[in-house]
Each structure stands twice: as structure tokens, then as C-alpha cells.
Structure 1
Amino acid sequence: MIINHNISALNTYRQLSINNMMAAKSLEKLSSGLRINRAGDDAAGLAISEKMRGQIRGLEMASKNAQDAISLIQTAEGALNETHSILQRMRELAVQSASDTNTEADRVELQKEVDQLAKELSRISNNTEFNTKNLLGGAFAGIFHIGANENQNLSLSINAMDAYTLGLTEDVASISAKVVSSTGDKLVGADIVGTQYLTEGNYTVEVAANATAGVDITLKDAEGNVIASKTGHTAAAGPVTLVDDSGTDVITLAYDAAMAAGETATIYIGASGADLTSGTNIVAVEVSAKDALADGTYTLTIKSSDGTKVDIAEITDSNGKVIATATYTSNLAVNSAYTISLSNGKTLTFTTGNNTPAIGNTATFTVVNTDYTSGTSSAAVDSNGDGVLDKEAVAVKGIDVRTQQNANTAITKIEAAIETVSAERSKLGAIQNRLEHTINNLGTASENLTAAESRIRDVDMAKEIMEFTKMNILQQAATAMLSQANQLPQAVLQLLR
């Protein structure tokens, strides 16, 4: 019998410590509901569980992305629904106008509503937005992430649905030229950049008397700010001319030296009605005059193949009636945005670069989207898109219901526009249906993955309660036995009696 080491007490104490630790772990699992509370509980299970948790949260966010995509599509489709309604009304008006029971005055009134409806089509296209993103302007091309992992995307592009794209208005003209020299006593044309839709605004060229000799030519913007000027030009009497490198007149601004304020001069494109091609090398705008000039207004005119003039400034319909006038308000001399303002409020713009053009620079301007109607004898200059200023005038496509024949043509055009919008709406509807199925699938995948993760990480409450009860009983038993083990060494005292 020994008393220095109570082995029974030590063994009982060790078992009691184990029971206490196991009971504490069991209590932690029961209180958290998780089988894995820390990596030590199940290292491999924790790694698998965390990977699954990432997948689950990704699936949930992908479902939200798909719902947002549906909201975007519904916004676009709702606007197209109204576009359809407008087109149906335009078709109705065209059918009404196609009947000769209408007078010319009746058809003019019908045309007014058609024109307003066409403008509303463009307004809807330009102003339909989702989260500040324009949807129907033709620039929207979105990628929706609808999966938990990378590259699980759905792409969507929405075509432009404005009146121009739907074939209810169209381009007018295009010219290309090349700058090859900038020397001499001339106002040199600036580099004209790009082909674009045109902005509103006015730039005026003032030609006024100079106290000493010659003329002063001043270019001002719409606010009256001077952009460029040439003072006291004293070259020989003659017109303002845009010449190529061979000396051939390409564009001429002709004026009467004694013209009074408010009178008009004319710009002719082509010395004798010849085509202006992209290979034509433009040198400069040269202004010369012998006598002082009063302020003048300049009108842009194009010669046709038979030598007759086709005015952008005075556009006539097939009956010879003037339907729009435009004033050329720039001399293409410096960098800025130059415009021709039409009496109907539309504008044609020339846009130039920031500096005087270097030799070899290419210059281009395009007249775009003037909302002329079919039947208009227009000043289109590049009807076949070959970069050549065509000599003949061509009709500009649009919706015109002012004659029986044009109303018939309008029905066909509007029908084509309706089919275009229908195709776009069908595409959006198909993608919306697809996204709805995507959301259902994402929900199912998330549910199944959550169940799998739960089996790894969540605690079996019944089993754990059983384990806790067992540890609790063992803990109480060990405590009682430790008390008994501590009493064993006292038996030695009996030997001393």
C-alpha cells in the first residue's frame, strides 16, 4: 500500500477531464446546431462545406441577377409595346389617307399626326432607360451573369427602335475629300472628322467693309463669340472658292460685290455638275473681293447632272412647293461644329477637328437624319454609299401620306417597321422566358447544394443529445468515484492504531 501516488484518483481524474471536455463539445454542438464549429471538428468536412457555401451564395446572387435582367427586359418590352401602338396608329392613318375620299387638306392634317408619331417613336427610343442605361438607342449590349461560377453568362443586345432605324426617316448625304496643302493667302479648311448624327446650333460668317481696303471675314459661333477672322483681304475680285490641287473649282461661294444685307449668295459643289469623289484633293478656302461687302447670307446648293441646281437651302416637294429652307452659316475655315439650320427646326452639321489640317488628312462630312419625307426632291449626295458626291438628286425615305400613292407605300413601310418591332419583342420575350427557367433551376440547385452542405456541417440533434446525456452521466459517475479514490489513502491510518 502506497500513499505518495494515488493512482486510482489520478485515473479517475483523467476520465473526469475527458468526460468534461466531451460534454462541453457536445453542448457546443447542441447550442450552435452545427457539427463543425471549427476546423478541428472535421478538417476535410470544413473545406468541403466552405466550398459548398460559396456555391450556394453564388447561386442565390445569380438568381437575383436573373431577376434584375427580367426587370430590364420588361422595361424595354413595355416601351416597345407603346412603339407597337404608335406604329399601328400610323398604319391606320396611312390606310385612311390611301382612300381618295380625303381631300388634299385632309391628308395634310393626317400627315401632321404621322410626323408627330414618328418623333414620339424616336423620343421613346432615346429616353427608355434602366438604371440610367439607354435600352432602345441601339448601343445596349449587356452580359448577365446567371451562374455561380465564372463565364456562366447570358448576352443580350437590343436593336435601335427609333424612327430612323425603323425606316421612317433616313440619311441625306456624304462627301469625302483630302487636304494636301495649307499654303498661300487663304483661309485653310480644317480637318473634318467622322460621320455622325448632327447637332443643333448656328455659326455665322460675317462679311463686312474694312476701313482701309478689302473685306473683313469673321466666323462666329451661336453665342456671338469670334472663332476666327481675316481682316482686309485685298485679292482680286472674285468668289469664295474651295479648290483642289489642280486648281479646279470644287465649291464656289459666289456673291455680288454690291449685294445688300440679307441677300443670298450660293455655294456650288462641282464646277460643272461633276462628281466630287473621295480622291478629290481640297487645298483651301480662298476668299477674295475688290469691293467692300455688306453682311450676307449664304445658301448651299448642289448642281445636278443636267446643270440645274438642287438646293439644300430650298427643298421642294414633287409639286414644286418649298417645304424647307436652310442657311449655310459657316465657311469651313477653322475647327468647330458648323451647321445648316432648316426652317423646320432640323439641322445639318459639319464637324471639324481641333487644328488646321496637316497634309494628307482626310476630310468627311455627312448630312444625316433631316426627317424629310418620301416624295421630297432632296439634296442627297451619296445615294449609293461609294464615297462619291452623286450628281442626281434622290428621294429620301420616310412616311408620307399626302397622296394616295404615297399612303399606299407608307402602309408597306409601316408594316415592315411593325414586323421589326415584333421580332425584337419576340426576342426579348424568349430571353425572359429563358431567364424564368434559369431562376427555377438556380433555386433547385441551391436547395440541393444546401441539403448536401447541411449533411456535412449540421449536427444530428438526436444523436448529439444521446451523446451529451452519456457524457453527463459519466461526468457525474467520475466525480463520485474521484471522491471515493481520494478516501483510499486514509486506510493507512488504521495500521497506526
Structure 2
Amino acid sequence: MEKNGQRANVGGKGARYTEQVDYIRWRRGGRFNSPVPEKLVVYTAFTLCYLPDGRRLASKRTSPQGARRQHRNMPLRVNNNIAAINTQRLISRNVNVLHRGLERLSSGLRVNRASDDAAGLAVSEGLRSEVARLGQNVRNAQQGSDLLQTAEGSLQEVNNMLVRMKELANQSATSTVNDTNRESIAAEFDQLVSAIDRIVEATTYNSSNLLTGFGNQVSSTASTAVTGSATTGVTRISLSAVQDGTFTFSDTAADGDLTLGNGAVTQTLNMGTLLDGNVVASGTSVVANFDRLGVQVTLAGVGVQGAIGDYTDGDLDGTTIVVEGSTGGSFQVGPSNSFFNRLEVGISDLRATGTSLNLGGTSVASLDSARQAISYIDQATATVSVARGDLGTAQNRLNFSIAFTEVEIENISASDATIRDADVATEVTSFTRAQILVSASNSMLVQSNVSLVTALSLL
């Protein structure tokens, strides 16, 4: 071996290699006697690197032909660093995964925008809307229950007063008390009647009076425009062996029932008014006159076919309309606009001087009036008890509706969570993996850029 750029004969199974070194003395299978300069050692066939302790990285058994093939498969290019470009692409992908994981862990949602899961987002939004609507129905039912509880509490006091009034009436209805005693009893009785009126009029909820006819107000204005249709009983007349002449047909229309809204309202219309129809003639010397709408005449043998002439109008035969019932207060307790999802409650006027209790003219000032007052008080007590029973039934239905709706909200929320919520364990695992990959990719990007610097040593 020679030094200072001279040729060196490196032995080893007959192989000879030429290398450029500052000063290296070769010893087969051993170490170098002098430190190896930290520079790239270039062979004519391949690149050989030495460690600071003198060990070489390339196997000395590599043939020149194999070294040349390695050199051709691993080119050293500068303009396009493919390794750096590939590493940069992977960094961008891992950073996106990292950001998505941060967003999901911060919000607790797997679907934060439509691009995350378009179909899932559409289903989730529908479920969220349903949950919001059901939640409002629960609040409606709770408020309705509070309203009914307010009304029922006042009726309980009214019932207690009726019990006291019956006690006074029974006391006055006995012969053991005199007129002076009855006057004192009557004074207390009248005070109780006034107290019932005050309680009833003071029972309100959100500025709505509950016991003076809640939900039973009927407007005094009615529309006079009524439309409808009716079919008469006579539909066809057949004539045979008709001779020349004029034929006149008349018919009285059948009565029809007209049903108006706002409860069960029935009005009978009398359609007895006759109108002349158009004249329709067909055939020879045959004329058919129609005096009534809706009459269709078939003339056999002469070919005369009848037709409808003019229309007929009708008038109401009365001026009194009786309203048998009306809708009370309505509480929306379900998701749709149907009777099943709506609770309607009507409370009549329960003032003592009203028509329901009918205690305004009741007196216990005399023996006979006191005995008569007992029956009136019994009727009033029964009326109040029925009203309280209706309120209790409505409250129970509201409570059942609340319980059912809350279960429905729970089930729908669970379905929405399956679609929309993030799995924390999965997201933490993905986030940690992305963190490691981003750190490793950054390190590899530095290495891929540093490897290009070695090209300078070749210049």
C-alpha cells in the first residue's frame, strides 16, 4: 500500500481494489493502526465508509460487480429529493390525523362537520330535532300538570267550604234552632258563598283564570257564509208509451243536515223552494219541462233524454244555534299534531253564584229554605267532585306522558350518541399514534435533507 494518493494493493481472496486515502495501512481482518480520517472513501466500484474506531461498514467480500450494481440502484440526486418529498407527504397526513384527534377529543364529537360523516350527520340532526321537540313536550306537560294542580288545590278548598255549608244547612233545618239562630247561621252561609266566588275568581295561572270557565269561552260572532251540497231522493223517472204533449216534472228536495264546527251543532235545512229549469227537447213534438234541480228523466221510446237545469239554493229555517260542547284548554304532550299527542281539559264556571253550582239564591234563613239548600249543596258537591276527578285523571295522563317521553328521549339520545359522539379510547389511541409518527417523520425529514450534503464532498 502506498500513501498520499498512490496506488495500494489491498489483499483478500485475490481481489484488488484502488482507493483514495490520506494515510491508511491495511491489515486483513484487523484494525487500522492510525485513526481513519472522517471523510467519505470512494472506491471505483462502490462507496466505503469507515467508523472513527477504524472499522469499515462495507463487507470486504463484496465483489466489484455487486458494488457496481448497488451504485446503479442508489443514485445520488440533488434537484428532486424523493425521500424528503415522501417524508413531507407523510408528515402532512399525520398532522391532519393529529388535528382531527385534537378536535374530537376537545369537542367530544366524532362528527363535527358534514365532511366527517355526511350520512351520519343527516341522521343525527334529525334525531337532535326530535329530542328537542320531545324535551319541549315534557316541559309542556310539566307546566300543564302545575296548572291542573293549581286548579285542583283551589277546588279542594271549595269542597271544604261546601262541607261546612251543608253542616250549616243541616243545623238550620232542625226545629231545635229558632229564627235568631238561623239568622246567624245564614250570615255565615252567605259569607261562605262569597268566599267560594273569591277563591274561584282568584285561581289563575299565567294570567288565565282556571275556574270561571277555563277553555270554554265561545265567541259571539258567527260567520253567515255556509256552503254545502245535498242530493234529492228522486234520481230518475222512466216514461213509456209517451204521446204528444207537454210533460211537467216537479220534486221537493229531501231535507239535509248541516254540521257546523265548534262542538256538535246541527241545523236542518228545508229545500222545498222550487226553481224552473231549462227546457230540454229531443225527438219529434216532445217537450220536457224541469222545475227542480237534480231530476234526471229518461223517456223511453221517443229518445228524449232529460238533463239538469238550474241549481237550487236553500235557506236556514231557524235562527237559534245550540252549542252542546266546546274544546277546553289544550296541552301538547306529543311530537305530532294529533289527538293522541294532545290533552284537552275543560273546566266549567264553578262560582257559587254560577250555573254549575247554582248556590246564588240558596238560603238557610228558614226551615224550608234550609232543607231545600241541602239538596243544592249536594249537587254542588257532586259537581266539584266530578271536576276534581277530571283534573286528577288529566294529571295522571300528563305524568304518564312525561315518563314515556323521557324514556323516548333517552333512547333517541343513545342513538344519536352512537352516531355523533367520539369514542375517547379510540381517539386517544389514534392521537398518540399520530404524535409518534409526526415526531419520527420530522426526524426522518432532517436526515433526508442532510444526506444531500454528502454530494458536496464529491465536488
Tell me the TM-score range normalised by the shorter chain. Answer: 0.5 to 0.7
1:467 to 430, 446, 452: 430
Aligned equivalents of 2:450 and 2:130: distance in 1? 59
Give the drift of 1:131.
Answer: 1.1
Give the drift of 1:37.
Answer: 1.5
Contact 2:333 2:401 in 1 (8 A): yes
Give the drift of 1:149.
Answer: 4.2
Q: TM-score, normalised by structure 2?
A: 0.56
Would you say 1:166 and 2:356 are equivalent positions? yes
Q: Map 1:18-37 to 2 at 5 A.
A: 18-37=93-112
1:477 to 429, 432, 440: 440
Which residue in the other structure is 1:104 paired with? 179
Which residue in the other structure is 2:210 paired with? 135
Letter of the 2:387 partner, please give it.
E
Contact 2:90 2:441 in 1 (8 A): yes
Q: Deviations over 1:153-198 (max 9, x none)?
A: 21111111012223434xxxxxxxxxxxxxxxxxxxxxxxxxxxxx
Q: Deviations over 1:228-257 (max 9, x none)?
A: xxxxxxxxxxxxxxxxxxxxxxxxxxxxxx
Point out the structure with max Rg over C-alpha: 2
2:195 to 120, 134, 150: 120
Which residue in the other structure is 2:410 paired with? 447
Q: TM-score, normalised by structure 1?
A: 0.52
Q: Map 1:178-197 to 2 at 5 A.
A: none
Letter of the 1:166 partner, please give it.
S
Aligned equivalents of 2:98 and 2:364: distance in 1? 91
Contact 2:213 2:347 in 1 (8 A): yes
Which residue in the other structure is 1:394 paired with? none
Question: How many residues get paired?
Answer: 269
1:156 to 345, 353, 362: 345
Q: Deviations over 1:286-324 (max 9, x none)?
A: xxxxxxxxxxxxxxxxxxxxxxxxxxxxxxxxxxxxxxx
Q: Map 1:2-81 to 2 at 5 A.
A: 2-81=77-156
Which residue in the other structure is 1:406 paired with? 369
Contact 1:58 1:149 in 2 (8 A): no
Contact 2:210 2:347 in 1 (8 A): yes
Contact 1:66 1:439 in 2 (8 A): yes
Which residue in the other structure is 1:86 paired with? 161
Which residue in the other structure is 1:389 paired with? none
Which residue in the other structure is 1:421 paired with? 384
Aligned equivalents of 2:126 and 2:168: distance in 1? 63
Letter of the 1:55 partner, please give it.
E
Aligned equivalents of 1:437 and 1:105: distance in 2? 54
Give the drift of 1:93.
Answer: 0.9
Letter of the 2:446 partner, please give it.
S
Give the drift of 1:494.
Answer: 4.4
Give the drift of 1:129.
Answer: 0.9
Structure 1 residues 75 and 467: alpha-carbon distance in aligned structure 2, compared to 1, 3 A threshold = same
Structure 1 residues 123 and 453: alpha-carbon distance in aligned structure 2, compared to 1, 3 A threshold = same
Would you say 1:146 and 2:336 are equivalent positions? no
Q: Deviations over 1:29-85 (max 9, x none)?
A: 112211112221111212222222222222222222211111111111111111111
Aligned equivalents of 1:495 and 1:134: distance in 2? 100
Aligned equivalents of 2:400 and 2:90: distance in 1? 58
Q: Map 1:334-349 to 2 at 5 A.
A: none
Aligned equivalents of 1:117 and 1:24: distance in 2? 75
Letter of the 1:92 partner, please give it.
E
Letter of the 1:147 partner, please give it.
G
Aligned equivalents of 2:140 and 2:373: distance in 1? 42
Larger helix share, 1 or 2: 2
Aligned equivalents of 1:401 and 1:24: distance in 2? 86
Aligned equivalents of 1:492 and 1:105: distance in 2? 130
Aligned equivalents of 1:28 and 1:106: distance in 2? 85
Q: Please list every run of 5 or more consecutive structure 2 residues that lacks an aligned counterpart in the other structure.
A: 1-74, 216-327
Aligned equivalents of 1:95 and 1:166: distance in 2? 22
Give the drift of 1:110.
Answer: 1.9
Of 79-88 and 438-447, more deviation after overlay is shown by 438-447
Give the drift of 1:425.
Answer: 0.4
Q: Map 1:233-382 to 2 at 5 A.
A: 371=360
Structure 1 residues 167 and 453: alpha-carbon distance in aligned structure 2, compared to 1, 3 A threshold = closer
Structure 1 residues 28 and 167: alpha-carbon distance in aligned structure 2, compared to 1, 3 A threshold = closer
Letter of the 1:58 partner, please give it.
R
Q: Map 1:187-226 to 2 at 5 A.
A: none
Contact 1:118 1:168 in 2 (8 A): no
Structure 1 residues 492 and 168: alpha-carbon distance in aligned structure 2, compared to 1, 3 A threshold = closer
Which residue in the other structure is 2:395 paired with? 432
Aligned equivalents of 2:186 and 2:199: distance in 1? 20
Structure 1 residues 437 and 400: alpha-carbon distance in aligned structure 2, compared to 1, 3 A threshold = same
Q: Deviations over 1:439-493 (max 9, x none)?
A: 2222212122222111111111111111111111211221122222223333434
Q: Deviations over 1:408-435 (max 9, x none)?
A: 2211111111010000001101111221
Runs of 4+ that moved beyond 6 A? none
SS of 1:160's equivalent? coil
Aligned equivalents of 1:429 and 1:64: distance in 2? 19
Contact 2:348 2:356 in 1 (8 A): no
Contact 1:137 1:162 in 2 (8 A): yes
Which residue in the other structure is 2:449 paired with? 486
Aligned equivalents of 2:152 and 2:83: distance in 1? 84
Aligned equivalents of 2:191 and 2:456: distance in 1? 118
Letter of the 2:98 partner, please give it.
A
Give the drift of 1:150.
Answer: 4.1
Which residue in the other structure is 1:242 paired with? none
Letter of the 1:88 partner, please give it.
V
